[in-house]
Amino acid sequence: MTTKLKKYFNKELKFLFIIVFYSFFCVILIKSKMKKIVIFASGSGTNAENIALHFSKGSLAEVACVFSNNENAKVLERAKKHNIPYEVFSKEDFSGDKVLQKLKNIQPDLIVLAGFLLKFPQNIIQSFPDKIINIHPALLPKYGGKGMYGMNVHRAVIENNEEETGITIHFVNENYDEGNIIFQKNVPLSTNETPESVAAKVHKLEQRYFPEIIEKLINQELLPKTN
């Protein structure tokens, strides 16, 4: 190889190194500015996956970790599929300091409950004020409270001949489904609904609006309504 050719290749290698280094720096810079979302889920995780996919398309935020109290929950498979870190914990971990410490290490900008069945402990609520939100499959204050989740809610809606149902996104406080409401969306019901058909209608609302509301909260475009 001639001296001239060596100089040419050295120049090209230096240029390539600069490009690679600059690209790496840009990725690190973007990641450092991204908001962090932590998701708590106990079941299938369709909403969790939908949220993760929504934010994977931009640079605003990312799902930093998925927490679950159920080691067999399908949400963990979804987290693995999208290379999202996850934590499995016991009730003792949750009521004690173990989960709280892990959250403090992550320092999430928002904690999202997406089909999570345990009552949130006071120590976590106090450590992350106005940073914990939940989605409920009904129009609160109707059909809220202990034991009112999933198909239990939809059956109650049918039994009471409701003409509409919907979703409620709200902040989490020390009581089930009593935190300040952030957003609600209704859907009409027909006279021949089943719990399964109601669940399908509600799920469509969850998939459409939950990521959108999370994004607005992260951008500080929404404030809670006064109950």
Give me the active site residues, please.
136
Q: Give the tokens for residue 59.
A: 């640079």
Separation CA 202–CA 137 (nearest Å): 6
Torsion, CA 153, CA 79, CA 107, CA 207, rounded to 10:
-40
3-state SS class at 183: strand
Quote the radius of gyration of the chain (alpha carbons, Å): 22
d(CA 58, CA 53) in angstroms, rounded, equals: 10
Contact 174, 125 (CB under 8 A): yes
